[in-house]
Amino acid sequence: MKAQGIRPNARIWRHAESFKEAAILCSKNNLIQPMAVNAALAIELYLKSLLSLNILNPSGVVKEFKAEPGHQFSSLINRIENHHKTMLFEELENISNEINWDSEFKKFDDAFVKIRYWYETNNAAPIRHEILNLAVDLGKAVLAMGNKLNA
């Protein structure tokens, strides 16, 4: 079996899109905690779409794909290949050059876990709508990358 990296992985990206859309619906209905959990999961999956590898069978058909484990955004970003990471941040800068994107990811680094388990000791995380904005912008940036990489 041969591993081939097609970035971003379209299946994972579409999965991220569905969680982003769920976050938008939750936001419209003032369901803040579910909005934040869905937005955080979307961010995680957008990043993982840049890390996955397709495993091809001898005929060249995708048999399976492997993605990196983990929920911490900064850790996932650090595992992205340098040229793809540079491209990602360039696309984010095209969306807004007034945001410090590295700080934005770090601000919500453990959001997926902390927001789900807010009731556990020392696990409270402030829930803000900015996490939804980050999910929307990241989805656009990863899509733009995919359009350039696979043109």
65 has which bridge partners?
54
pLDDT digits (tens, 9 = 90+) for 58-115: 665 555 556 666 778 998 999 888 988 999 999 999 999 899 998 888 888 877 777 7
Cα separation values, 25 from 51, 90, 92, Å: 28, 29, 24
Contacts of 78 (CB under 8 A, 6+ apart): none
What's the pLDDT band for 123 if we cut at 50, 70, 90?
low
**pLDDT at residue 140 greater than cutoff 90:** yes
Give the count of domains, the chain: 1
The CATH number covering residue 83 comes to 1.20.120.330
Distance CA 142, CA 128 (A): 22
Instruction: Domain of residue 40: give its range.
Output: 2-149
**What DSSP string describes the chain?**
-EEE--SS-HHHHHHHHHHHHHHHHHHHTT-HHHHHHHHHHHHHHHHHHTT-EEEE-TTS-EEEEE------HHHHHHHS-HHHHHHHHHHHHHH-SSS-HHHHHHHTTTHHHHHHTTTSTT------THHHHHHHHHHHHHHHHHHHHT-
Q: What is the pTM of this model?
A: 0.84
Q: In angstroms, what is the C-alpha Rg of the chain?
A: 16
Nearest to residue 131, comparing CAs of 68, 41, 10? Answer: 41
